Structure 1
Amino acid sequence: MGRPTTRIDVVVPAHDEHELIGACLEALRLARDRLLGTEPGVEVGVVVVLDASTDGTAEVVATSGLATTVVEIAEQNVGAARRAGAEAAVASPTSVPDAHRWLATTDADSRVDPSWLAVHLDALTSGVDVLLGTVRPDFDDLDEDGRRRWLETHPPGHLPGNVHGANLGVRLDAYRRIGGFAALAEHEDVDLVARARLADLDVRATLAAPVITSGRRIGRTPGGYAAFLASAYGARPARA
């Protein structure tokens, strides 16, 4: 088999996520296996950044069955965590040039679709610089009224173009060009995309392969997805 021509590295920041990161990594394993089943020449790496985790997250990662690079920091800062993960990914031994490498990010409380990596590979090979994917809350965390309202406000085919670190991808040469993730306590994903647009990079949004994210109401950042859900659907999820 010839030398791989493309590489995707997935960055997963995690702070005290022992309850949910196992499902996150299993979903990534399924997505990786599906991609490599049709694209065996693609390299795929996964970097988990343990950011001040003290709850057993590391043990879940170690026994997950998914080969990962683990980085440990003590910042409790999602921007710093994504940046550290990207730096570890960049340092991965590979002969693939930056223009053919892709950084994809998701979150430890999220589950990617089995086609997720294939969608990001399509973006890479199509010349896209930044891909904005969609997310939806885990419907088990919404009551019946919440699920109904979600579906009413997110009809099929509606592409809001929001920025979610749980479903974001960027070509490595573009990432370097705009300076990478900033060490922001929140909205580091929005900041990165804003700089990409200022640099006139090709930023695309897609409905393909939405990521399912925890419907918890208290998250790891004060203004993140959990805060949005709390304001839109109430302070308590449907399940404990």
Structure 2
Amino acid sequence: MIGVVIPAHNEERCLERCLQSVLAAAEHPLLAAETVRVMVVLDSCDDGSAAICQHYSVQCLEVHARSVGVARAAGAHALIEAGARWLACTDADSTVPVDWLAAQLAHQADAVCGVVEVDDWSPHHLQVRARYEASYRDEDGHSHIHGANLGVTSAAYLLAGGFPALACHEDVHLVRALEAVGARIAWSRSVRVRTSARLDFRAQGGFGSYLQTLGEPA
């Protein structure tokens, strides 16, 4: 079984598009009808996120941590307990292509770090996009780590100790731990996700915070 972990804190504006894209990816023919379970981890939600989940074939888990690391770890643990052999992670403000899961598995690696594309730059000044694209390596062998586009075998995940209970950079810590235990990691541009550049980002210190710093005077 393949498990997909999606942490969400008050994501009613974005969550439906995310779920639709993930469930479409779960039906890709190259998955050979393997079961895909989608776990939405509702972290301290007091909006309509839970109600949206009820309209889709997904499972929900509630935590009250305001920590993406805690949320991802809780979802991963539940999926591994249910028998997942592979964990794919994305974010509630992101959408995945129809071949997302198939592309991850095609690498036959212990873990896959993919790339992200920003879906809408309009909230930001032009210099933010220019600075971002000047430093981003959209190529195989890149060094970017995105919780919105990460896959790992359950065995490697457990060996590395899983996601730490951090408010941000839990994805970076996991990948560094995977490297430390000798995991085979594919750094791939063929595994792609579209993500938000919104100004009201959820995780301080995460992707949204990084974009914010690019708008500051040099």
TM-score w.r.t. the length of structure 1 is: 0.82
Amino acid at match of 1:40: A
Q: For structure 2, list consecutive stretches of 5 or more residues without a partner in the other structure.
A: none
Q: Which residue of 2 aligns with 1:133?
A: 114
- Structure 1 ranges of 4+ moved more than 2 A: 37-41, 139-148, 150-160
- Distance between the aligned counterparts of 2:181 and 2:45, measured in 1? 35
Amino acid at match of 1:113: P
Shift of 1:217: 2.4
Q: 71, 75, 88: which one pairs with 1:104?
A: 88
1:210 counterpart = 2:192: yes
- Distance between the aligned counterparts of 1:181 and 1:10, measured in 2? 14
Q: 162, 171, 174: which one pairs with 1:192?
A: 174
The aligned runs of 1:14-29 (5 Å cut-off) are 14-29=8-23
- Distance between the aligned counterparts of 1:181 and 1:148, measured in 2? 30
Percent of aligned pairs with the same amino acid: 35
Aligned partner of residue 223 in structure 1, secondary structure: coil
Asked if 2 retains the 8 angstrom alpha-carbon contact of 1:139 and 1:147, the reply is no
The aligned runs of 1:41-60 (5 Å cut-off) are 41-60=33-52
Shift of 1:158: 6.7
Asked if 1 retains the 8 angstrom alpha-carbon contact of 2:104 and 2:191, the reply is no
Asked if 2 retains the 8 angstrom alpha-carbon contact of 1:218 and 1:227, the reply is no
Shift of 1:14: 0.2
Q: Which residue of 2 aligns with 1:82?
A: 72
Amino acid at match of 1:52: S
- Distance between the aligned counterparts of 2:190 and 2:33, measured in 1? 23
Compute the RMSD of aligned alpha carbons. 2.1
- Distance between the aligned counterparts of 1:159 and 1:218, measured in 2? 31
Change (3 A) 1:192 1:139: same
- Distance between the aligned counterparts of 2:148 and 2:38, measured in 1? 14
Q: Which residue of 2 aligns with 1:237?
A: none
Shift of 1:154: 4.5
Shift of 1:142: 5.2
Q: Which residue of 2 aligns with 1:68?
A: 58
Q: If you compute each CA radius of gyration, which structure gives the higher value, 1 or 2?
A: 1
- Distance between the aligned counterparts of 1:80 and 1:146, measured in 2? 34
Change (3 A) 1:201 1:24: same
Amino acid at match of 2:35: E
Q: Which residue of 2 aligns with 1:232?
A: 214
